[in-house]
Structure formats: structure tokens, C-alpha cells
Amino acid sequence: MPVYKGTAISGSVFVGKVKIYKQWQLPSFPKTINKSQIKAELKKLKSGISQLENNIRSVLQDADISQLDKDILNTHLMIVTDIEITQILENAVVSNLASAPYAVSSSFETIIKNFEQMENNYIAQRADDYKDIAHQLLSIILNVKERTNLKFKQDDIVFLHEITPSLVSNLAKAGVKAYCTEHGSHTSHSSILSRAMGFTAIVVSEEIIYKLKDGDQAVLDAEGNKVIIKPNPTQINIYAQKLHALKEKEDFLKSQSDLPAITKTKVKINIKANIEYPGEVANVLDNNCDGIGLFRTEFIYLNRVALPDEEEQTNVYSNLIKKLNNLPVIIRTFDLGGDKLSYMQQFVREENPFLGCRGIRFSLQQTSLFKTQVKAILRASVYGKVSIMFPMIISMDDFVIAKELVSECKAELNRSGIKFNKNVPIGAMIETPSAALSSDHLANVCDFFSLGTNDLVQYTLAVDRNNDKVAPYYIQHHPAVLMLIKQTVLSAKKAGIPVSICGEMASELMYVPLLVGLGINEFSINPAKASAVKAVIRNCDKKLFEIISGFDFNTSIADIENLLKHTLKPYYTIQS
């Protein structure tokens, strides 16, 4: 009964049988050609690109595909129609005398490596999309038929080396409910799709596939971040009971999903959603969220040569807002550095990009890009309740400068006779220790705060959250982190502005009573967690607030863990 540690992508627990997915094998092909073959290879290459573009456009016309699928397919379409990529592929044939398939495999390999080496994990995971396109393009050029009509049994757990967005869709169509992959990340398009489609999925970095055979019984425990192969009778019984309990809990939460998040002391807590693509709005509405607390806009800028103009961005934001049926949305401005705008550019390498020119710092250096986005958001604000949020704020100074640029945008739109909401709230992400420590001053110029705990923990503890070697030091409940959260909440309360939390902490049930007790009045989370978080909030009573208000957070990690795992456990234990 081998047990393999992994990282959960989505879902909870799935018990079934191993089904090893044999990844598509690249048939052999010549790497080089002679000059007389250039014309024929270019024709083969162009024909392949054209066919792939037509294939994607054809799928986009399918009325049955979800909006999220469409968002990702549109990203793929941008890659396929990218003139710069086409030029690189053609140049490989003409100048390097590469065969059409080798031009694709070698050029995309370079592109993928560039992405994977990027320090920003969100951007690094875009490599998935380029792998997907390379795979599909090679299939067409080499005339290899893809296995789209996959056949699986209902209890199959698919084990594979790596997964792409198109394969996630194909597995879903085949009725698969669970998979385990050796390569992947929580932020990849494949993972986003997996969560939207209800998969139970885990990444296990060990070469697990070579140690298994089809038909082996297996347990995917996404809650425990592990995979168990050939579980013994005791384990089978334990997981049978766990599945029964999870089903009861799921049914209970579903029956309670439309109830508001109100504590027993009558405090209303808003439960909003974090999303990266407009297609995720369906999940927001299906899970009865109170709106969107964080809409990441980076996807608009990626996988393209030219920057999106004001019209394109206005359409993206307007369509999103209209779908929300007047629910509020907080749109975060561009949160990347200039080196991420195009993988083809001569990268502006920084010694430490996490401490470099990113977020609002980059926006204030590239004011034209920033103002284009702000004007697009303002124009879209006429369709609903919109707020603007600035990332990577460290003090009042940068925030005030950015706010002045928003005023300039308003004046320019006024002069052009373009309508917009003149009172769009403007807030700051509190994701650096300096922002939290100066939150008293910041609160005087902000309309709201949003605690981005992922980066706040990283910067406070000097720990790269994507580095496995220092993972034990990434402690979200570290006393220093909690004291910064508490200080931010007190500053917001003093100024009379709302404060939300949009980091991973907000989705972890163990932390919810603690955060409510500290005074957080809005959670922005993965929409799938909404019902569970609401249920925990409804458990919070007067005694909880007394416990938290009387607790000294300037203490040891052990004392805080005792508070979380023992004192507060009754509050986050959901009883169906």
C-alpha cells in the first residue's frame, strides 16, 4: 500500500482504479531539409497553422461549450495567430533548414522553457498552453489522429505524465472524474478547468506511473494531499466512511447554499469570489456569491504581441459586469512586470523580480498602459457596481499618485463626452508589511482594503511560496502575519472603510473563525468554497469574538496552532 505525497489541484476524495493514460508519442521525422525542400515545408507549416486555427474557431462556434472553455480557446487562438510566432517558425525552416515538424518542436521548446524559467508562477504556468498548441500543431503536420473519443469506466482514475487544457476537456467528455499527473500547478489553465469541471485531481512529482499497473485500486485524497495505491481493508473502510460523510456534508452545504453568511451575533460577512477569466462568472452565480472580490486582469495582456487597446479592454470588463446582474466586482489593475508582456522581447532581467518593478510600480512607470486600462474600467462602470484596486502598494505615496492618474482619466473621458461612474471606489491591496504597517495613513486615502495574504506571508517571512525547499517556513498563521492583519483591520475600522481578504487563507476553513474574530467583513475566495465558508461563519458567536479579542498574537507559533486546532475547532467543524 504505497503512499505518495502530492499537491491537490481540486476536489476532495475519490476511490477507484488506476488507468494509465499513454501520452501521445511523437513519430520520428527528419530534423533537417535541403534548400530544394524549403517551399514544400513552408507550405506544410502554413497549412498546419491554418487548419489548427480553423479547428479552434470551429470549436468556439459550439453552443454547448462553457464560457471558461471559450476564454481558454481564445487564448490558444491568440497563440496560433501570433504573427511573431509564425515568423519564428518560418525562419527556422528558411534559415536553419529545419523540417516543418522540427521547426515546431524546437521553437516551441524554447518558448516553453522561457515560460517555465519565469519566477512568477502565474506566468510560468502559461507554458501549458504552448505545450497544448505545439502538440496539436504537430499532430496536424504529421497527420497523427488525436485520441478524442477516449473510453473510460466510471471509477477510473487517470494517471498521466502531464495534462493540457484540451485533454482536461476530453477527459470530462469521457466521463472521467479523477486524475493524477506528474506535472502541474494550481494556477495553470488545466487546473482552472479541472476545478470548474469538478475533477478530483492531484499532482505527484515522483515518477509514479512506472510503479503502477491498470486495475490497481487507488485513493486520491486531495484533502490529505496524497495518493494511496492498493489500500488495505482498513484504509478502504476508512475512506468509504469518509466518502459517506463527505456526501452528507456536500448535500447539507448544497441545501444551505442560498443562506447568507451571518454570524450568531448578527454580523453580515460578504462572500465574494476570486476569478481570472470572465468564463468563471457562472461558478460565481451558481455558488451564490455576493459578487467578485478580485478579478485578475493579467490574462488580457498575455499570449500576444500587441498590447490590448482601450476598446478591447472595455468590452472584456463590460461583458463581465453585465453577466453579474448588478453584483459588485473589484477589478485589480495589471499586476505583472514589463518582462512578462511578451516572451519574445529582450527580457528586462531583474536580480529579484519579486522585489522588483511589478504591480503599481510598473504601472506608474508605464502610465500610458495604466491609463488605458483605467479608462476601460471606468467606461465599463456604467454597467454595474465596479471598484478599482491597485496591487503592490507599500505606502500612501504611490496610491495617491495612482489615484491622481485615475482623475486624469476621468477628465479625459469627460472631455470626450464618454459616460462613466464618477464615484468608482478605489482601494489598495495590502500585501506588503509596509502597507500593513502604514495602513493607518493609507486608510485616509483609500475607499477599501483587500488583504492579499499569499504575498503578505511571503514578504513578511522572506519565504518564496513556490519553493518546495522552504515550504515549511511558509506559515500563514505566523504571529507576525496575524499581527499585520490585525493592524490593517483596526486601521480600516478607525477610518470607517471595509476590509476584505482575498488570499488562500480565506478559503481554508481552519482560518475562517480566526479571521472573522479579527474583524474581516468580507471574504473573496474560490467560489466552490462559498457554501462551506458561509456555514463556518454562521457558527461564529459572541464567545468567539471574546476569545480573539482577548488573545495576544505576539506569541509563539505553537500557541497559535493550539488556538486554531483546539480552541477554534468547534467553529470550523461543519455538522450536517
- pLDDT tops 70 at residue 355: no
N-to-C CA span, the chain: 32
Greater model confidence, 510 or 194:
510
| The predicted structure's pLDDT at residue 18 | 92
| The predicted structure's pLDDT at residue 258 | 85
Looking up residue 376, the CATH number of its domain turns out to be 3.20.20.60
Greater model confidence, 248 or 1:
248
Looking up residue 174, the CATH number of its domain turns out to be 3.50.30.10
Among 180, 409, 446, 502, the one annotated catalytic: 502
Residue 39 lies in a domain: yes
Amino acid symbol at 288: N
CA–chain centroid gap for 352, Å, is: 22
- What is the total residue count of the chain? 576
3-state helix, strand and coil shares in percent for the chain, rounded to the nearest 5: 50, 15, 35
Which segment of 95-104, 337-346, 541-550 scores lowest on mean pLDDT? 337-346
Which residues lie closer than 8 Å to 278 by C-beta, 6 or more apart? Answer: 67, 71, 316, 319, 320, 323
Amino acid symbol at 425: P
Residue 497 lies in a domain: yes
Mean pLDDT of 335-358: 53
Look up residue 118 and give its three cell numbers.
Answer: 519565469
Among 135, 189, 477, 478, the one annotated catalytic: 189
- pLDDT tops 70 at residue 466: no
Q: Are residues 155 and 134 in the same domain?
A: no
DSSP-derived letter for residue 17 is E
Task: Report the domain count for the chain.
Answer: 3
| The predicted structure's pLDDT at residue 167 | 85
- pLDDT tops 60 at residue 294: yes
| The predicted structure's pLDDT at residue 428 | 97
Which residues lie closer than 8 Å to 102 by C-beta, 6 or more apart? Answer: 29, 30, 31, 32, 92
**Which one of 141, 171, 191 terminates a domain?**
141
| The predicted structure's pLDDT at residue 542 | 96
Catalytic-residue membership of 502: yes
C-alpha distances out from residue 7 to 220, 226, 334, 430, Å: 11, 7, 28, 27
Q: What is the pLDDT of residues 14-69, one digit of tens each?
A: 999 999 887 666 677 888 889 999 999 999 999 999 999 999 998 888 767 777 77
| The predicted structure's pLDDT at residue 346 | 39
Selection from 150-154, 237-241, 389-393 with the highest mean pLDDT: 389-393
| The predicted structure's pLDDT at residue 339 | 45
DSSP of 392-441: S--SHHHHHHHHHHHHHHHHHHHHTT----TT--EEEEE-SHHHHHTHHH
Mean pLDDT of 83-93: 91
| The predicted structure's pLDDT at residue 501 | 97
Looking up residue 131, the CATH number of its domain turns out to be 1.10.274.10
Residue 191 lies in a domain: yes
Which segment of 65-69, 77-81, 253-257, 500-504 scores lowest on mean pLDDT? 65-69
Q: Are residues 192 and 70 in the same domain?
A: no
| The predicted structure's pLDDT at residue 338 | 47
DSSP-derived letter for residue 430 is E
Which segment of 169-183, 232-246, 316-330, 467-481 scores lowest on mean pLDDT? 467-481
Cβ pair 4, 219 in contact under 8 A: no
Kindly report the three-state secondary structure assignment for every residue of 350-367.
Answer: CCCHHHCCCCHHHHHHCH
CA–CA dist 539, 532 (Å, integer):
11
- pLDDT tops 60 at residue 561: yes
| The predicted structure's pLDDT at residue 342 | 47
Q: What is the mean pLDDT of the chain?
A: 88
Q: Are residues 273 and 295 in the same domain?
A: yes
Residue 282 DSSP SS3: helix
| The predicted structure's pLDDT at residue 148 | 53
Q: What is the pLDDT of residues 227-256, one digit of tens each?
A: 999 999 998 899 889 888 888 888 888 888
Q: Are residues 238 and 270 in the same domain?
A: no
Q: Match 496560433 to its residue by C-alpha cell.
A: 80
Mean pLDDT of 194-213: 84
Which segment of 250-254, 459-463, 552-556 scores lowest on mean pLDDT? 250-254
Residue 30 lies in a domain: no
Predicted model pTM: 0.77
CA–chain centroid gap for 93, Å, is: 37
Residue 96 lies in a domain: yes
Residue 12 lies in a domain: yes
Cβ pair 522, 498 in contact under 8 A: yes
Residue 205 lies in a domain: yes
pLDDT band at 123 (very low <50, low <70, confident <90, very high): low
Domain that holds residue 167: 3-24+147-252
The 156-162 sheet, strands edge to edge: 3-5, 226-229, 217-221, 13-20, 156-162, 178-183, 200-203, 7-10
